Amino acid sequence: MAVFGLGGCGKEAGGVAQLSQDRGCMRCHGMVTKFVGPGFQQVADRYRGDATAAARLGTKIRQGSVGTWGNVIMPRQPQVSAAEAAALAEWVLEQPSAR
Ligand code: HEC
């Protein structure tokens, strides 16, 4: 698993999962099913095999999104650095299938 320089947060396997808690992602996302936003396993299923997904999602995590999964808005997440967003995007896409 690729973990970037996260200022010490990403050393152990649970690092990015912990980051998703610390950055508030889990207030709206579950791992498996839809809550406010899509479950991270559902996101992984949607983009499985899409080589450009990690870069796109990294940008979306910081800038927000609406209309991809429905009409609920994901607000922008300015507390997340670009490196953190990239690590979070990779971590989301690594999740096992929800099906
Ligand atoms: C206030 C609620 C909320 C928070 C906080 C939130 N999200 Fe979301 N997220 C959503 C919603 C709603 C969507 C669906 C947006 C859409 O349909 O375009 C979404 C979509 C996504 C997607 C899929 C985007 C796509 O194009 O398919 C990813 C990946 C994601 N969020 C990651 C994160 C991460 C990582 C964090 C923490 C830094 C986070 N979210 C924080 C509500 C939230």
Over 90: is that where the pLDDT of 9 sits? no
Nearest atom, ligand 1, residue 80 CA: 38
Q: What is the pLDDT of residues 11-57, one digit of tens each?
A: 455 799 999 999 999 999 999 999 999 999 999 999 999 999 999 99
Residue whose CA is closest, atom 7 of ligand 1? Answer: 74
In this predicted structure, what is the pLDDT of residue 98?
A: 81
Does 43 sit in the ligand 1 pocket, CB within 6 Å?
yes
Does 62 sit in the ligand 1 pocket, CB within 6 Å?
no
In this predicted structure, what is the pLDDT of residue 10?
A: 42
CA of 7 to the centre of ligand 1 (A): 23
Residue whose CA is closest, atom 11 of ligand 1? Answer: 37
Count of residues making up the chain: 99
Share of the chain above pLDDT 90, in %: 84
* Gap between the Cα atoms of 21 and 1, Å rounded: 19
